[in-house]
Amino acid sequence: MKTFRRIGVLTSGGDAPGMNAAIRAVTRAALDRGVEVMGVYRGYSGLIDGDIKPLGLRDVSNIINHGGTILYSDRCPEFKTEEGMQKAIATCRAMQIDGIVAIGGDGTFRGATDLTARGIPCIGLPGTIDNDITSTDATIGFDTAMNTVVEMVDRLRDTCESHARCNVVEVMGRDAGDIAIQTGIATGATGVAIPEIPFDTDALIAKIKRDRIAGKRNFIVIVSEGVGPDFSQELAETIQAETGVETKFARLAHVVRGGTPSLRDRLMASRMGELAVDSLFAGKSNLVICEYKSEIVATDINFALILDRMYKGKLKPGDLDPYTEEQLADMRARCDRKAASIRALYETNNRLSL
Ligand code: ADP
Ligand code: F6P
């Protein structure tokens, strides 16, 4: 079995609270097992440029409680080219980096799988606020981002109550409505619009009119950015025009990507980081560490990427060819479970926001 002397750790794509906890876990777990750790700065850009420094035990002190990433992050188009990839591999060889833990989203995992195929074993950790990685029930950063949304919306609700207003709040999530639907329930939103389920504007208008007549002063509507670029702002205008309720619009945007990571994100990042290191040292690679049914487990990256394409309806010809009937059944069941969970949450919100 391959012996590891030194591994690299990097963060790539959009940053997420809890990435630092993951960096700390990877670093400490590897050092504890007698393996050196190199911090690769600015994601795959740092791997191409050799922007790499050793990480010692104390270099990761006092970071578990901070958002962002001490290794910085980047989106690196050059890494998608064969030339860029070869530069990254040359850096790994020159710096004697025997394996890499890459923390990021599905783009980061595609990079990790390409590196693994070229002889640098990689393991991915799911770091993104969006929770848009189907193989894991939660991604690092998702919980913190939702807690921030809840705090912001609670504040908006205070002022809506004082002034008898409605506030439409757009939240991030890229093409996934996970942040919107869960925070919608947690903030008692009158309506939630997510890309996964068609939105009924007329029903929302009718509900606001009815509830205003019954004496309700404040209304909160949460919209996932994935519904469309101008949807939330236009919805605010429509609500005001159709109901007569003064309606404000707020886009929380990157506010929810920063800040102190929650207990759940710190804990999950720590457990995932440790399993990533153990898996690598056990001779495994091309894996993404997931939380599945409350267990921290390692899943094949290609399986995870194809599962995502299946869930998002973006399968390409031949994608399913490598898989057995049993694996395909597992994939379909996971997609159904995720879709059913979003739908169940949506219906819960409809029932409770009377
Ligand atoms: P995320 O990891 O959050 O999905 P991106 O999609 O921006 O974020 O991907 C992060 C980085 O991963 C990209 O800037 C690029 O360097 C690398 N990457 C993305 N897609 C690929 C790909 N198809 N092949 C190789 N590397 C990729
Ligand atoms: O993937 C995380 C995320 O914050 C998405 O929710 C959002 O759509 C996107 O990144 C924003 O990207 P940028 O930081 O490049 O504006």
Q: What would the DSSP string read from start to end of 39-72? A: EETTTHHHHHHT-EEE--GGGGTT-TT-SS-TT-
**φ, ψ (nearest 5 deg) of residue 101:** -105, 120
Whether 104 is in the pocket of ligand 1, judged by its Cβ within 6 Å, is yes
Q: CA angle, corner 72, sides to 69 and 74, nearest 5?
A: 125
Closest Cα to atom 25, ligand 1: which residue?
111
C-alpha span between 335 and 226 (Å, rounded): 19
What pLDDT score does 2 carry?
Answer: 77
Q: How far from chain centre, in Å, is Cα 307?
A: 16
Q: What count of other Cβ atoms lies within 10 Å of the Cβ of residue 212?
A: 16
What pLDDT score does 236 carry?
Answer: 98
Ligand showing the shortest atom-to-Cα distance for residue 258? 2
Q: Report the DSSP pairing between strands 219-224 and 247-251.
A: unpaired
- Secondary structure of residue 311 in the 3-state scheme: helix
Strand partners for 265: none
What pLDDT score does 1 carry?
Answer: 72
C-alpha span between 12 and 240 (Å, rounded): 41
C-alpha span between 333 and 345 (Å, rounded): 18
C-beta separation of 286 from 122 below 8 A: yes
What pLDDT score does 157 carry?
Answer: 98
pLDDT tens digits, 63-103: 999 999 999 999 999 999 999 999 999 999 999 999 999 99
pLDDT above 70 as % of the chain: 100
C-alpha span between 175 and 226 (Å, rounded): 4
Nearest to 68 by CA among 149, 143, 141, 139: 141
**φ, ψ (nearest 5 deg) of residue 102:** -110, 120
Could you tell me the two tokens for 96? 């004697």
Whether 108 is in the pocket of ligand 1, judged by its Cβ within 6 Å, is yes
C-alpha span between 160 and 165 (Å, rounded): 4
Strand-by-strand arrangement of the 99-104 sheet: 52-54, 36-40, 6-11, 99-104, 122-126, 287-292, 295-300
C-alpha span between 246 and 165 (Å, rounded): 5
Whether 44 is in the pocket of ligand 1, judged by its Cβ within 6 Å, is yes
Residue 240 is classified by DSSP as: H
Distance (angstroms) between ligand 2 centre and the Cα of 172 equals 7
The residues near 62 (Cβ < 8 Å, ≥ 6 apart) are none
C-beta separation of 204 from 191 below 8 A: yes
The residues near 306 (Cβ < 8 Å, ≥ 6 apart) are 315, 319, 320, 323, 331
Strand partners for 37: 7
Q: pLDDT tens for the chain, 354 residues: list them.
A: 778 999 999 999 999 999 999 999 999 999 999 999 999 999 999 999 999 999 999 999 999 999 999 999 999 999 999 999 999 999 999 999 999 999 999 999 999 999 999 999 999 999 999 999 999 999 999 999 999 999 999 999 999 999 999 999 999 999 999 999 999 999 999 999 999 999 999 999 999 999 999 999 999 999 999 999 999 999 999 999 999 999 999 999 999 999 999 999 999 999 999 999 999 999 999 999 999 999 999 999 999 999 999 999 999 999 999 999 999 999 999 999 999 999 999 999 999 997
Which of 80, 106, 139 to probe ligand 1 with, by most ligand atoms within 8 A of CB?
80
**Known catalytic membership, residue 106:** no
Q: What count of other Cβ atoms lies within 10 Å of the Cβ of residue 316?
A: 8
Question: How many residues does the structure list for the chain?
Answer: 354
Distance (angstroms) between ligand 1 centre and the Cα of 311 equals 19
C-alpha span between 35 and 293 (Å, rounded): 31
pTM for the model stands at: 0.97
